[in-house]
């Protein structure tokens, strides 16, 4: 059956564009909206429904653009399912955020038991992030890791742990692709260390 994206999706696209209008990807200057568009597209290509695609557009809104108040606005505008997925894809509502490793370990533990719709949006997010890191690593080498809170080895640990958590929870096409990207990134990283 053909999927048609309706007015809710178009509204969510505009809302995401407004929320993230001044935000760029770390170290690249690329508009942040490109990431949100990519995540939403990956969700749809993996068979996700309109609610999941909307959550893909808004998955970083709570963390980056207003916390709990933004989550409540998402719930009001797009419904409980979208809000539940967005909240489950958020690794912290706290300000200031807890330490990086603590947040990531908590997120990994949560992911192993998350519903399939949450895992789909999360896997699409992590896949696009990993692809971006790999592309930038090919272009800029080790300097790419200067952009992030985590050091290179921590980044490799996190992405490898994500793959394991997703596989433990059931895997899927996005997870298989994430595994390939993480393997290539790890291989390049190992070559860079020698």
Q: Give me the mean pLDDT over the 167-192 stretch.
A: 90
6 CB neighbour count, 10 Å cutoff: 9
The answer to whether residue 188 is domain-embedded is yes
Q: Please check whether residue 1 lies inside any domain of the structure.
A: no
Average pLDDT, the chain: 92
Q: Which residue has the higher pLDDT, 194 or 147?
A: 147
Residue 191: the pLDDT is: 62
Whether 74 maps to a domain, the answer reads yes
**How far apart, in Å, are the Cα atoms of 149 and each of 137, 144, 152?**
16, 11, 10
Q: Which of 71-75, 102-106, 138-142 has the lowest mean pLDDT?
A: 138-142
**Residue 46 pLDDT grade (very low, low, confident, very high; cuts 50, 70, 90):** very high
Note whether residue 81 is domain-resident: yes
Burial of 51 (0-12, 13-18, 19+ CB in 10 A): buried
Q: Is residue 180 part of a domain?
A: yes
Question: Does 71 reside within a domain?
Answer: yes
pTM: 0.93
Query: The domain that contains 56 carries what CATH number?
Result: 1.10.3210.10
Report if residue 172 sits inside a domain.
Answer: yes
- How confident is the model over 64-100, as pLDDT tens digits? 888 899 999 999 999 999 999 999 999 887 777 889 9
Averaged pLDDT for residues 162-183: 97
| Cis omega (within 30 of 0) for bond into 96 | yes
Distance CA(192)–CA(194), nearest Å, equals 6
* Long-range contact pairs involving 8-14 (C-beta distance under 8 Å, separation at least 24): 8/50, 8/54, 8/78, 9/50, 9/53, 9/54, 9/57, 11/77, 12/54, 12/57, 12/58, 12/77, 12/78, 12/82, 13/57
Q: What is the pLDDT of residue 192?
A: 59
- Which residues are known catalytic residues? 63-64
d(CA 9, CA 69): 21
Distance CA 56, CA 39 (A): 5
Query: In the prediction, which pLDDT does 142 show?
Result: 86
Residue 2 lies in a domain: no
Residue 40 has pLDDT above 80, yes or no: yes
Number of domains in the chain: 1
Domain that holds residue 135: 7-193
């Amino acid at each position: 059956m053909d999927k048609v994206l309706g007015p809710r999706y178009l509204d969510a696209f505009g809302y995401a564009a407004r929320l993230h209008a001044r935000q760029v990807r770390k170290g690249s200057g690329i508009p942040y909206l490109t990431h949100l568009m990519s995540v939403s597209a990956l969700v749809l290509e993996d068979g996700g429904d309109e609610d999941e695609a909307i959550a893909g557009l808004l998955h970083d809104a709570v963390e980056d653009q207003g916390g709990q108040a933004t989550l409540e606005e998402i719930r009001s505008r797009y419904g409980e399912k979208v809000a539940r997925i967005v909240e489950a894809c958020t690794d912290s509502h706290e300000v200031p955020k807890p330490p990086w490793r603590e947040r990531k370990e908590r997120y990994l533990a949560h992911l192993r038991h998350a519903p399939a719709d949450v895992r789909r949006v999360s896997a699409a997010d992590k896949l696009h992030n990993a692809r971006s890191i790999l592309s930038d690593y090919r272009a800029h080498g080790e300097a790419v890791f200067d952009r992030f809170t985590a050091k290179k080895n921590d980044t490799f640990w996190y992405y490898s742990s994500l793959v394991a958590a997703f596989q433990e929870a059931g895997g899927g096409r996005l997870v298989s692709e994430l595994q390939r990207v993480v393997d290539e990134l790890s291989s390049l990283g190992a070559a860079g260390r020698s």
